[in-house]
């Protein structure tokens, strides 16, 4: 298993280190490191600390922050940036932008699980300038060019 360095920025999180809920889980739930409940009115977003920082260290890896499906579907609580991308060289506090895209007020509780983090492989590319591409089956077709059926 890949090992990633983590710093506990808030002592409460020492008991809440990222962990896979089941052996087959892809995501690690992240918690709201709040001192008091945080009210999110419809349309409102807030940057919520997780009380942790990670240093992935390997440019061949990154972390992506994604909504939890229950919060997103039932309560409209998703991410203000839609998806968070954590660079392998980032060492600052891990933050979650929580956005209430729903119609009802939602209150985030201290230590509530608000998002999930997935560690993903990354390919860094360099770019070689050319004047034409080798032919492909798709060519320049896109944006629905293959139809719907």
Question: What are the residues binding ligand DUT (CB under 6 A)?
Answer: 65, 81, 84-87, 90, 94-95, 97
Order of strands, sheet of 84-86, starting from the edge strand that comes earlier in the sequence: 28-31, 113-121, 61-66, 84-86
Q: Is 85 marked as a binding-site residue?
A: yes
How near is the Cβ of 147 to ligand DUT at its closest, in Å?
Answer: 35
By beta-carbon proximity to ligand DUT, the closer residue of 53 and 76 is: 53
How far is the C-alpha of 10 from the C-alpha of 29, rounded, in Å? 17
Q: Is 54 annotated as a binding residue?
A: no
Nearer to ligand DUT, 90 or 111 (CB): 90
Q: How far is the CB of 90 from ligand DUT (least distance, A)?
A: 3
DSSP string, 32-100: ---SS-EEE-TT-EEEEEEEEEEE---TTEEEEEE--HHHHHHH-EEETTSSEEE-TT--SEEEEEEEE
| Residue 144 marked in a binding site | no
Give the position of tokens 């719907």.
148
86 annotated as belonging to a binding site for a ligand: yes
CB of 91 to ligand DUT, least distance (A): 9
Query: Residue 117 and residue 68: Cα distance in Å, rounded?
Result: 10
Q: Measured from the CB atom, is 76 or 84 closer to ligand DUT? A: 84
> Is 69 a known ligand-binding residue?
yes
The residue count for the chain: 149
DSSP state of 29: E
Nearest distance from residue 141's CB to ligand DUT, in Å?
31
Query: 12 or 81: whose CB is closer to ligand DUT?
Result: 81
Residue ranges of the annotated binding site for substrate are 68-70, 81, 85-87
């Amino acid at each position: 298993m890949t090992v990633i360095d983590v710093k506990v920025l808030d002592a409460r999180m020492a008991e809440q280190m990222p962990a896979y809920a089941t052996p087959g889980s892809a995501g690690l739930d992240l918690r709201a490191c709040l001192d008091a409940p945080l009210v999110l009115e419809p349309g409102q977003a807030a940057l919520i600390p997780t009380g942790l920082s990670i240093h992935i260290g390997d440019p061949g890896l990154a972390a992506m922050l994604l909504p939890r499906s229950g919060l997103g579907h039932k309560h409209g609580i998703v991410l203000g940036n839609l998806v968070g991308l954590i660079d392998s060289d980032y060492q600052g506090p891990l933050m979650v932008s929580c956005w209430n895209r729903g119609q009802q007020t939602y209150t985030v509780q201290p230590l509530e699980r608000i998002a999930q983090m997935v560690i993903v492989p990354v390919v860094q590319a360099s770019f070689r300038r050319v004047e034409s591409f080798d032919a492909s089956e798709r060519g320049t077709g896109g944006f629905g060019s293959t139809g719907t059926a």
